[in-house]
Amino acid sequence: MSNIVDPLVERIGARIRAERDRRRWTLSELAAASGVSRAMINRIERGESNPTAVVLGKLSAAFQLSIATLLDPEAGEDRVRRGDTAPRWLDPGTGYARRQLSGPGFPADLAEIRLPAGARVPYPAAAFAFHRQIIWVIDGRLTFHEGETVHELDVGDTVELGRPAPCVFVNSTDQECRYAVVLVRGEAP
């Protein structure tokens, strides 16, 4: 096992610990609120485990924060984000890659997502409860399950999310799908 520590994994862990401390929650309370085991939360907080997209979705829902906030919590003075330095996160389970394009001081979150061929990433309804979102397909094809509704999205297509529902992002093709997510903080529709 390598002793090399990923700074982004450490930052995610520190952010989750800070949010838990801010709320004065125990590990057990966060586990109950999120559905993520105490052991996994502990490993994430210590920077020993890179959470999957599913786990991040559950934790963000418990905190009522966007995933972007957990991944990129620090507001900086520099408003320019160079392509090679923009915060990037890779889901260790699916290869789902997220690049944060907007900073935490901006009133909306903008992220570029790369969903590998054959990948499937589910999120609980609670992950969408305090946000308005639109998804815009840039390259490839995305099958987006919003509760019982299935949207087949091609290049240039967009979908505005409705009432909070469990969602699944699926790339059933043999090519990568690239899409943008724009999230506005506040009450969901």
- 19-53 residue pLDDT tens: 999 999 999 999 999 999 999 999 999 988 888 88
Amino acid letter, 161:
L
Which two structure tokens, joined as six digits, stand for 129? 């409860």
The class of domain 88-185 in CATH terms is: mainly beta
Note whether 137 and 177 are within 8 A (CB): yes
The class of domain 7-71 in CATH terms is: mainly alpha
Question: Which residue carries 């982004």 as its tokens?
Answer: 8
Question: What predicted TM-score, i.e. pTM, was given to this entire model?
Answer: 0.77
Amino acid letter, 121:
V
Contact partners, residue 11, CB within 8 Å, separation at least 6: 73
Closest among 122, 138, 106 to 170, alpha carbons compared: 122
Q: Identify the pLDDT of residue 79.
A: 67
Closest among 56, 176, 166 to 118, alpha carbons compared: 176
Domains 7-71 and 88-185 belong to one CATH topology: no
Domain ranges of the chain: 7-71, 88-185
- 121-180 residue pLDDT tens: 998 888 877 778 999 999 999 999 999 999 999 999 999 998 889 999 999 999 999 999
